[in-house]
Structure 1
Amino acid sequence: SLPVSRWYHENTSEWTLDYPPLFAWFEFGLSHVAQHFDRNMLVVENLNYTSPSTVLFQRLSVIFTDVVFIYAVRECCRCVKEQKGSRDLLNRPSFILAVLLLWNFGLLIVDHIHFQYNGFLFGFLLLSVAKHLKGALLFSILLNLKHIYLYVGPAYGIYLLRSYCFTQNNKDGSVRWSSFSLLRLLTLGSIVVSVCVLSIGPFIAMGQLPQVLSRLFPFKRGLCHAYWAPNIWALYNVLDKVLAMLGVRLKLLNEAELPRASMTGGLVQEFEHSVLPSISPPITFICTLLSILPAVASIWRRPRGARGFLRCLVLCALGSFMFGWHVHEKAILIPVLPLSILAVESREDAGIFLLLTTTGHYSLFPLLFTPAGKNQLRNLNSVIGWNLMLLSEI
């Protein structure tokens, strides 16, 4: 209902547009369908508006866009090695992978109860683990739909540079510098730049790039999200709180002089730690970079094909989740879903997958702390049972 020039300036609601332009255009397309269900949901001033038609549209829109995710799962299952001579459906890795992905418990919570559009985005992620040029195109589109996937950007950048732009390897697996192809590098670069220009170009032309970037990277929102992701900064916050309490009890600190504990107030905002040094965005960036450096260095030395790339992607996602700035709890799904592919082919990966999904999905429960959420959670017991049964088969 607003002109494009106002999209990234509108702030009537606390839920402002903080996704890249391609997702904004996606929502704009949805609005043309939504008007046939209930026009009132498109009025910006209608804060916290709801109606049966609005809820119906929201649910149908998520289900419809999940077609992309279903197609991506189908393509992934085609690439899984099947066991020879096995006729038991529950022993077929492709079937197990289909269930682990399509009935992923965390994705059901975030998209179909909490209500978001992560399914089709993960469809793009899974499809991007493909041939080089196609993968570069799909990942570029994905980044311009949701910039949280910058977490795994280093894995894509290093892998594509190493395996596509260097055409030959030495016998020991080391890179042969003389095989570097400038033409291939320019080809990859042109794909990425073209997608970004189509997405952000109109806003650059309107002189709104700084405003768009301020929405995409809101550093003033603070170190932690309102629902703390279970990462190193959550432990850091708890330690700071414990030290502050001990300091007051031992009369080493004056309670009146300590910053108010806004970190536990359920709000998204900046706060100062009471005892420990406060963490700034550059510190989180350095910690994240150091955590993913071994995985990136390993894939540079020896790419090891799609499986090696998947391992690097998972490790980059986990490193960013553990040390990133203002990490959302749902970001745990970025490593969980690709790890499903590795889990059906390796007993060791399956054990890691079981631990990660159990702890990761548990961390999503705060999204359901409402009466409606609790009731729907009870109805998902069968889904949990299916996942556990299939994991035991692995």
Structure 2
Amino acid sequence: MPLVKKLLEAELEKSGKTVSRALCEHFPISRQEIFESVRVLELTSFEEIIGRLGTGRGCDVCKPVVASVLAAQHGSYILDGGRGGLQDTNDRAMANMQKDGTYSVVPRIPAGEITPRKLAVIAQVATDFGLYTKITGGQRIDLFGARLDQLPEIWKRLIDAGFESGQAYGKALRNVKSCVGSTWCRYGVQDSVAMAIRLELRYRGLRSPHKLKFGVSGCARECAEARGKDVGVIATDQGWNLYVGGNGGFQPAHAQLLASDLDDETLIRYIDRYMMYYIRTADRLQRTARWIEDLDGGVDHVRDVVVHDSLGLADELEAAMAKHVDTYEDEWAATLADPERLRRFRPFVNAPEADHPDAAIATAHARVEERGQLRPARPDEIARGEAVLVAGPTLPVRGAGA
């Protein structure tokens, strides 16, 4: 979508047309202008924002944008105060919906470092709930196949074991990838694991225009692929090199060098400024690579702002990030602590105390065993009677003689 929008605007400008920067039909201003207006006017709800800055009741374009802006500025629980209805499906469930209507669970595993005890908890949860498990590209473990009403019970067990939400469902920091660095590797020149954990715990829960991925490599061999990340950190003999604006996806981009040989504190300070500047000024659903491309001056402009404080915003950007760090609260821990919030995950709205019915008739999810795990069945497998119905309101179609 951002690419199509960019192409369309370029062609309109070539033909002499005035290009509107309106977010949607309800807001005549851009996301950046909405962000700054909310900050200056200290607006705290969608009703206030659309009443002051827009018209109508909103749509599926502006509502998630406003929800993200409010979360980035106020750091409050994303589903309270009427904000639940603004969120995308994944944010409302605080889990990623899969193709069969079930959800995945991704606990945070900073830098991919995890104790054997925590691994055992994940294994037991996956076994008890019949979840498909996979190690992700971001050095985390994804548990697939949970029903909506099972999410609180799953998360209670994970949180009791010391986990927290990995926010794989949100436009926020996903993970910070790391090699083993100087702790184990004979080539490592800095402790990349410790730095990756520090970064992930600092920026966790940070809502932004798009998802964010970081990487920290302990030497120039770059095993954590840091230059393919929105923020990449690569160790040197003197400290850290900071790269920005990398990503994979439809238009892969290598991150560009922003500053060299930084000590730990300077590195953190520059990332604080960079992240908050991006969050304030980027367009809706715009990754950092495209954002830097669209800035007048590109990465040189970003360097002027972040390193040389050309706009005089350094203290303000750092203060905004400090506020985020100080007010962070794990969303699933907050949900489990509040019975009213848990009501969103009831299996039956009209019978909230009722147990979920027999799994064999509860939800329409047919499974096929493959490589020792249960995966969603394909339509042809269901038709041939090869699938096992582990949960569903309808019985599976069985072949003749089944």
* Alignment TM-score, normalising by the size of structure 2: 0.24
- TM normalised by structure 1 equals 0.24
**Relative contact order: is structure 1 or structure 2 higher (C-alpha 8 Å, sep ≥ 6)?**
1
Structure number with higher helix proportion: 1
